[in-house]
A and B are shown apart, each in its own frame.
Chain A
Amino acid sequence: MSALSNVVSKEVTHGEDIVTTVVNAGSLNTRSVNEAIAEESPVIEKTYLEVSHTSIEFPTKKGPFKALDDVNLKIARGEFISLIGHSGCGKSTVLNIIAGLLQATEGGVILEGREVNEPGPDRAVVFQNHSLLPWLTVYQNVELAVKQVFKGKKTRAEMAEWIEHNLELVHMNHALHKRPSEISGGMKQRVGIARALAMQPKVLLMDEPFGALDALTRAHLQDSLMEIQKEIQNTVVMITHDVDEAVLLSDRIVMMTNGPEATIGEILEVGLARPRNRVELADDSEYNHYRSEVLKFLYERQRKPEEKVA
């Protein structure tokens, strides 16, 4: 990360292409800087992404199944949001609606004042199972996205640099020319994150990005993600079912009620100062308070019906 730290400051955010700066010839970095927004309003107050009165029904053999009912959520620029809830509560559905992969039956999603109803690289998705194309190398996987998104905006050399820069961000520049089958699960997920970051999205959507990994690899990747977040201040919506992960990473935790007709139950603001250190936080009373809040919601107020019987 050291290569970057002298380049990107706090004001550097993803956004409209107002000013494109190239700082430090050593690590060429073309990132749009929107100083006006960053200076005038503290990042947290402005609504950047809004999920507005969103409901969705799926047709089934027994008639329509209402998975989500009136979901409302306002997210500020640069905010890190976790969606947590029991399995089957429609977390992924919310994410897929934001991504545009699913169409809401009622309501919709507004990003920067514009309604979105189809998928696009401004809302990059990190899928649970990495979803790298197995016949392409690590580099080519990121390249496929970069070529598509920056067609006509970057020169060939700039694209190459941008691809390598993003893979460096996730510490994968040692395996540029390996295929997904030749690297570990954690590494694949890193590449998946790099591919999403390389699209320079307005919102980064992560669908249980670390769910399929072992605990140690997961912790490692969470630390990496926090480092990256410190640098580029992305707006992130992440699905998780890991309470510690949610508290450690998020600015706000959105807790969902059980389906059908799932909706947002409670929203918890996590006021822990950054940078956050998992070892120090383990004994921190504030951290444990947030943790128990989420646990109480999940296991007392929203206990799964079948668990009640058992």
Chain B
Amino acid sequence: MKTKIINLLETTGFSWSVPMVKLAAGENPREQCQELFSLLGLPIIAAILFLALWGSMAAQVNTSLGQLPGPAQVWQQATTLYDEHIEEREKEVAFYERQELRNAKKLEKNPDAQVKIRPYTGKPTFFDQILTSLLTVFTGFFMATIIAIPIGVACGLSDRLYTAVSPLIQVFKPVSPLAWLPIVTMVVSAVYVTDDPMFEKAFITSAITVMLCSLWPTLINTAVGVASIDRDLINVGRVIRLHWTAQVFRVALPASLPMIFTGLRISLGIGWMVLIAAEMLAQNPGLGKFVWDEFQNGSSNSLGRIMVAVLAIGIIGFILDWMMVTLQKLFSHDPNASIR
């Protein structure tokens, strides 16, 4: 039982809480407390020092928007953003209640009356924007994955294809999202023409930009992973005469999964970084637009609110990476491999 919990905590990246489990199980308290201190205490002390340093340094800097916010002001802005979110939700509920009431009255007078149900059009809150950003990044990441993995597998299986495609990869890989964006915007405007758009153009532009930038790590890792499969494993497939599709899906893909996940992890990290820049320019209503709007807004609270966004971006990026590491550990064949 205890070992099971500890294993679970370690695969999911919560190894700092292992000493607590051991303490609860009655292991040597002194040893476990020391362990706990080094795993949890040290990072906490470092964070406190950082906050103190930030607070004292920020007070020294005066900008045209007032003093650079310290941790206290940022915290205050974070709570304000949360309150605004709650308020907006209450307004929305009230709006729908009013609408229903109005419609009910209308129907009471005349049962044949046409009632209109209008969606609520309040401005998106900070938390709505986080959701938009997540949706956008996952859309882009998903598109990148379905393009990169098949091409990567093909490149890994065929040396010739890899030689052919390699220069293209090398050239497009280092291109900044900011350079892609104008082209993507124009292409999307030209190609995506409908009267009843399911997605906003800004959303599609941002997602495609994310895709273009996060494609490469997965592609390269998949190609290398597939190319470096143990020859004998391939030969096993040849001896039992696996059909080539079975060879790909039952041997090549599973064998290179650890490498593919390494690539996916890098891709998602890059995608999240690229997204903020893309949203700023494409005006997709996500975190990037939030930062840009606050910057343009230029109130005395703006810097504090931007700082909240910066921290939110960092924390979400951390959580995304943690998810990918956990997946990576689950799909690793070698239980002794250390994945950080």
Q: Which residues of A are found within 8 Å of B282, using beta-carbon distances?
A: none
Interface of A: prevailing SS = loop
**Contact partner of A148 among B233, B242, B254, B335, CB < 8 A?**
B242
Segment touching B, from A62-70, A117-125, A243-251? A117-125
Q: Which 8 A-B pairs have the closest CB atoms?
A: A134-B333, A131-B232, A119-B238, A148-B240, A127-B232, A119-B239, A145-B240, A135-B254
* Residue A149 is within 8 A (CB to CB) of chain B in the complex: yes
Q: Which one of B232, B235, B240 has the greatest number of beta carbons of chain A within 10 Å?
A: B240
Q: Which one of A100, A127, A129 has the greatest number of beta carbons of chain B within 10 Å?
A: A127
Q: Which residues of A are found within 8 Å of B230, using beta-carbon distances?
A: 129, 131
Q: Contact at B233–A119, with CB atoms within 8 Å?
A: no
* Residue B173 is within 8 A (CB to CB) of chain A in the complex: no
* Residue B4 is within 8 A (CB to CB) of chain A in the complex: no
With A131-B230, A133-B233, A134-B333 known to touch, is A123 a contact of B239 (CB < 8 Å)? Answer: yes
Interface string of B308-339 (1 = CB under 8 A from A): 00000000000000000000000001110000
Interface of B: prevailing SS = helix
Q: Which residues of A are found within 8 Å of B334, using beta-carbon distances?
A: 134, 181
Q: Contact at B240–A149, with CB atoms within 8 Å?
A: yes
Q: Which residues of B are found within 8 Å of A206, using beta-carbon distances?
A: none
* Residue B255 is within 8 A (CB to CB) of chain A in the complex: yes
Q: Contact at A181–B240, with CB atoms within 8 Å?
A: no
Q: Which residues of A are found within 8 Å of B257, using beta-carbon distances?
A: 135
Interface string of B172-183 (1 = CB under 8 A from A): 000000000000
* CA of A148 to CA of B230, assembled, Å: 21
* Residue B241 is within 8 A (CB to CB) of chain A in the complex: yes
Extra 16 A-B pairs, beta carbons < 8 Å, given A120-B241, A125-B236, A131-B235: A100-B238, A119-B238, A119-B241, A121-B240, A127-B236, A129-B230, A131-B230, A131-B233, A133-B233, A133-B250, A134-B333, A135-B333, A144-B240, A148-B246, A181-B335, A199-B240
Q: Contact at A101–B235, with CB atoms within 8 Å?
A: yes
Q: How large is the interface on A (under 10, 10 to 19, 20 to 34, 35 or more residues)?
A: 20 to 34
Which single residue of chain A is at the shortest CB-CB distance from B331? A135
* Residue A99 is within 8 A (CB to CB) of chain B in the complex: yes
Q: Contact at A133–B235, with CB atoms within 8 Å?
A: no
Residues of B within 8 A of A (CB): 230, 232-233, 235-236, 238-242, 246, 250-251, 254-255, 257, 333-335
Q: Which residues of A are found within 8 Å of B254, using beta-carbon distances?
A: 133, 135
Which single residue of chain B is at the shortest CB-CB distance from A148? B240
Taking the nearest CB of chain B, how far is it from the CB of A47, in angstroms? 23
List which A252-266 residues lie within 8 A (CB) of chain B.
none
With A127-B232, A129-B232, A181-B335 known to touch, is A99 a contact of B239 (CB < 8 Å)? Answer: yes
Residues of A within 8 A of B (CB): 99-101, 119-121, 123-125, 127-129, 131, 133-135, 144-145, 148-149, 179, 181, 199
Which single residue of chain A is at the shortest CB-CB distance from B243? A148
Taking the nearest CB of chain B, how far is it from the CB of A262, in angstroms? 22
* CA of A182 to CA of B257, assembled, Å: 19
Q: Which residues of B are found within 8 Å of A120, using beta-carbon distances?
A: 239, 241
Q: Contact at A133–B251, with CB atoms within 8 Å?
A: yes
Q: Which residues of B are found within 8 Å of A199, using beta-carbon distances?
A: 239-240
Q: Which residues of A are found within 8 Å of B232, using beta-carbon distances?
A: 127-129, 131
Which single residue of chain B is at the shortest CB-CB distance from A131? B232
* CA of A41 to CA of B100, assembled, Å: 95
**Contact partner of B235 among A119, A144, A149, CB < 8 A?**
A119
Q: Which residues of B are found within 8 Å of A128, using beta-carbon distances?
A: 232
Q: Which residues of B are found within 8 Å of A121, using beta-carbon distances?
A: 239-241
Taking the nearest CB of chain A, how far is it from the CB of B231, in angstroms? 9
* CA of A131 to CA of B251, assembled, Å: 11
Q: Which one of B230, B238, B239, B240 has the greatest number of beta carbons of chain A within 10 Å?
A: B239
Which single residue of chain A is at the shortest CB-CB distance from B233? A131
Q: Which one of A101, A124, A129, A133 has the greatest number of beta carbons of chain B within 10 Å?
A: A133
Q: Which residues of B are found within 8 Å of A148, using beta-carbon distances?
A: 240-242, 246
Q: Contact at A101–B333, with CB atoms within 8 Å?
A: no
Q: Which residues of B are found within 8 Å of A145, using beta-carbon distances?
A: 236, 240
A sample of 26 cross-chain residue pairs with beta-carbon separation below 8 angstroms, ordered by A number, consists of: A99-B239, A100-B238, A101-B239, A119-B241, A120-B241, A123-B239, A127-B232, A127-B235, A127-B236, A128-B232, A129-B232, A131-B230, A131-B235, A131-B236, A133-B233, A133-B236, A133-B250, A133-B251, A133-B255, A134-B333, A134-B334, A135-B255, A149-B240, A181-B334, A181-B335, A199-B240
Q: Which residues of A are found within 8 Å of B233, using beta-carbon distances?
A: 131, 133
Q: Which residues of A are found within 8 Å of B333, using beta-carbon distances?
A: 134-135, 179, 181
* CA of A101 to CA of B240, assembled, Å: 12
Which single residue of chain A is at the shortest CB-CB distance from B246? A148
Which single residue of chain B is at the shortest CB-CB distance from A199? B240
Q: Which one of B232, B233, B236, B238 has the greatest number of beta carbons of chain A within 10 Å?
A: B236
Which single residue of chain A is at the shortest CB-CB distance from B251? A133
Q: Which one of A101, A123, A135, A145 has the greatest number of beta carbons of chain B within 10 Å?
A: A135
* CA of A124 to CA of B236, assembled, Å: 9
* CA of A181 to CA of B255, assembled, Å: 14
* CA of A142 to CA of B239, assembled, Å: 13
